[in-house]
Amino acid sequence: MVDQLSGIAAFVRAAEASSFAVAAEGMGLSRSAVGKAIARLEARLGVQLFHRTTRSLRLTEEGAAFYERCAGALADIRDAEESFDMAKRHVAGRVRISVPVLLGRHCIAPILVELAAAHARLELEVAFTDRSVDLLADGIDLAVRTGALGDETELKARRLGVQSMVLCASPSYLDRHGMPAQLDEIACHAVLAYGKGQRVVPWRFDAHGQPREVKPAGRLRFDDLEAIADAAASGSGLAWLPSWLVAARLRSGQLLEVLPALRGPGFEIHAVWPLGRYLPMRVRTVIDALVRQLPAMLDHG
């Protein structure tokens, strides 16, 4: 029975890492030992659990079904052990978190600083990047992502809130060029576009219940939202920006909202973490704090 359980544990680790070597390192075993344990498990079950090549390791259909059952069972065992662990009452240990640069700096970092102050044994290591990191390969426990999650079936997610977008401009710009009264008039204005590489992000609006997109074709294009906000405040044109980024400038009158009745649905923000991986209390605590506090930060900046 012990050998069977160790084989299942090795299988789950290898499935989550897509690598015998990474699984072996995590278990303190040799790669050969992990490979042999999984081979014995396959022989006992009478099925092939992995497609193996020199460059990749992926689950077969039978392996994927077996993984779902085994990962859940191992998580239940860990939960049972933790229920008897008095240390559970203390949130402790390190959590590695990946967050978008500006959203992380303006809205997420203040929450994490406050959380660390409340839990003296909690260590938070935060990476600020707009790159969509590979959580397993980069050793990340938790990532915050904005927009559609796509079909990353190896991840679990929890919704944290919605990033609403605001079309805005400076009073000086609107004095010179006039306040647009409808979407079609945007084409007559100078606009400040956000883009990376050859891709310019379209502006999305809700025109009386119908979704509308405007593809900004301005002479000024930036890959930094803060630079766009600065340019808009200086009177360079219309900008479509996250409400949390321009909230203070809107309150002070440095920027004015344009076409407020046509605000679009915004972009959903999620916390994501590896599927099937046991979620320690320290990670759950971070997620819970973001769920509680991030919506207010998104609304008020």
Instruction: Specify the amino acid at residue 27.
Output: M
- How far apart are the C-alpha atoms of 84 and 81, rounded to whole Å? 6
- How far apart are the C-alpha atoms of 189 and 54, rounded to whole Å? 56
pLDDT top residue among 276 and 47: 47
Task: CATH number of the domain at 194, please.
Answer: 3.40.190.290
- Give pLDDT tens digits for 200-233: 889 999 887 788 888 888 789 999 999 999 999 9
- How far apart are the C-alpha atoms of 144 and 98, rounded to whole Å? 6
Task: CATH number of the domain at 142, please.
Answer: 3.40.190.10
> H or E stretch including 24?
helix 20-27
Backbone angles phi, psi at 193, to 5 degrees: -100, 150
CB distance 205 to 264 below 8 Å: yes
Number of domains in the chain: 3
174 & 215 share domain: yes
- How far apart are the C-alpha atoms of 12 and 278, rounded to whole Å? 11
CB distance 276 to 65 below 8 Å: no
- Give pLDDT tens digits for 88-132: 567 888 999 999 999 999 999 999 999 999 999 999 999 999 888
60, 83, 106 - which closes a domain? 83
113-121: which pairs have CB atoms within 8 A and are 24 or more residues apart? Answer: 114/289, 114/293, 115/285, 115/286, 115/289, 119/90, 119/91, 119/92, 119/285, 121/90, 121/91, 121/92, 121/93
41, 66, 83 - which closes a domain? 83
14 & 67 share domain: yes
For residue 175, the enclosing domain spans 165-262
Quote the pLDDT of residue 248.
93
155 & 271 share domain: yes
155 & 172 share domain: no
41 & 72 share domain: yes
122 & 201 share domain: no
118 & 47 share domain: no
236: nearest Cα among 217, 218, 210, 216:
218
Residue with tokens 């290898």: 14
24 & 94 share domain: no
**3-class secondary-structure state, position 205:** strand
pLDDT above 90: residue 176: yes
72 & 13 share domain: yes
Length of the chain: 301
30 & 177 share domain: no
Which positions ≥6 away from 130 have C-beta within 8 Å? 100, 101
Backbone angles phi, psi at 96, to 5 degrees: -95, 125
Residue with tokens 């927009």: 147
What percent of the chain clears pLDDT 90, i.e. is strictly above it? 56
Q: Provide the token pair at 282.
A: 């320290």
157 & 172 share domain: no
CB distance 41 to 5 below 8 Å: no
Quote the pLDDT of residue 1.
52
pTM: 0.68
- How far apart are the C-alpha atoms of 259 and 283, rounded to whole Å? 40
Backbone angles phi, psi at 153, to 5 degrees: -70, -10
